[in-house]
Amino acid sequence: MPNKLHIVNGDAFGDKLRASGIDGDILVWRESLYEGPIGMQMSDSVLLSMRAAYMNRLHGIPEEIFKSITLQQEEVLDSVAVEVDEIVLWFEHDLYDQLMLCYLLSRLFALPNRPFKLSLLSINHYPGVEFFHGLGQLNVDQITLLHDKWLPVNEEQLLLACKVWTAYAASEPLLMTTLLEEDLSALPFLKKALQANSERYPSMRNGLNTIQQLILDLIGDGELSVLSLFQKVSKTASHYGLGDLQFWATVDSIRKCEIPLVRLAGGDKLPSYSEALPLQFEKWRLFRTDMGKLVHTCELDHQYLNGIDDWIGGVHLLGKKDIWRRNGISTGFVKM
């Protein structure tokens, strides 16, 4: 019998897919390519050490665990040519998944021998699901109906994925600007996802990225529970595909800075990797500081106040000035 390998994002979906009786093995891809320094080959020893240190600092993930998971996944990709007849990729429409998809397609495309068939199931809705945000919300019966609904990956999709990953891994965002002006329809959810990626850069207006701005918008002049805020941001910005760890880190980027834009009431530390939610976490609330209000109205600039040390793909944003920002008028970028 032909051997299949299904590559998915998320243990919750992986467990349900397994329970649905799918034919083949399942690899849950756990590497968050949305965060940290990025390169063409994610198992590169220097890059891997940089990423492990970043993930430890941002989320508290032990460095050796992070390295081990990454290397195990990469080894599976290296061995697929002799072990499987078909690879099926299950990835959603959001930025988080589309980045994974492009990396995996470019990685598989680069293998010296590709005797296996490559297929893709990528959706942004499901009949009867009013607010579809991911495959993980489907039940086993719904997932069973998706069996064999995947389509062959063609050469145009493979070449586009390689182009996207090259642009995303570049040390400047200019390749991405050019890419956004091209026809990306071979991967139908890619354009909106890459536009969301551009929105991760600080704005020229006040130095906030789009999610940081949305957080201040939603809090308003009062206060809002952390969990309610997470739910609202997840719904409003569903095309990002943010998980809870990514959201806590975004909140901390404007909370644990030199001049905080928000403050937390009810506790002092948002959950890290493998930590359960604190007791009475539903009562923890966020409110804007006076400086946060001034940044929100563009009277002050978050970057000039607090600076940044973060990565968007291969672009390292570091310092208070002369960093890449998104141009609010066009899809381009400027340094300021």
In the chain, domain spans: 4-170, 199-335
pLDDT, tens only, 285-308: 999 999 999 999 999 999 999 999
CA distance 241 to 112: 32
- Asked whether residue 330 carries a pLDDT value surpassing 80, the answer given is no
pTM of the full structure: 0.94
CA distance 2 to 165: 30
d(CA 115, CA 320): 50
CA dihedral sign of residues 183, 185, 192, 8: negative
Residue 328 has pLDDT above 80, yes or no: no
- Pair type for strands 262-265 and 285-288: antiparallel
Dist CA 153 CA 137 (whole Å): 25
Residue % of the chain over a pLDDT of 70: 99
Q: What does the pLDDT average to over 253-276?
A: 96
CB atoms within 10 A of CB 111: 14
262-265, strands of its sheet edge to edge = 223-225, 285-288, 262-265
What value does the mean pLDDT of the chain take?
A: 94
Instruction: State whether CATH 3.40.1360.10 applies to domain 4-170.
Output: yes
In this predicted structure, what is the pLDDT of residue 46?
A: 97
The reported pLDDT for the residue numbered 327 is 84
**Residue 278 neighbours by CB under 8 Å, 6+ apart:** 267, 269, 271, 284
Give the pLDDT band (50/70/90) at residue 203: very high
Looking at the predicted structure, is the pLDDT value of residue 312 above 70? yes
Q: What is the pLDDT of residue 141?
A: 96
pLDDT at 61 over 70: yes
Distance between CA 212 and CA 269 in Å, rounded?
Answer: 18
pLDDT exceeds cutoff 90 at 325: yes
Residue 235 C-beta-side C-alpha neighbours within 13 Å = 8
> Residue 2: its pLDDT value, please?
61
Token pair recorded at residue 77: 């990709």
DSSP label at 153? P
Mean pLDDT of 268-294: 96
Residue 331: the pLDDT is 67
| pLDDT of 60 over the 60 cut | yes
The residue to which tokens 């093995």 are assigned = 25
**223 pairs with which residues across the strands?**
287
Q: In angstroms, how far is CA 252 from the centroid of its own chain? A: 17
What helix, strand, coil percent values describe the chain, rounded to 5? 45, 15, 40
pLDDT at 114: 79
The whole-number average pLDDT for the span 200-204 is 96
| Predicted pLDDT at 329 | 64
Rg (CA), the chain: 20
Q: Which amino acid is at 305?
A: L
Structure token pair of residue 97: 């998944």
C-alpha span between 194 and 200 (Å, rounded): 10
Rounded mean pLDDT, 140-169? 96
Percent of the chain with pLDDT over 90: 88
What are 233's two structure tokens? 């941001």
Closest CA to 90 of 44, 26, 41, 139: 26
3-class secondary structure, 260: coil
Higher pLDDT, 2 or 231: 231
For the cut 60, the answer to whether the pLDDT of residue 1 exceeds it is no
The torsion defined by the Cα of 318, 286, 249 and 234, in degrees rounded to 10, comes to -120
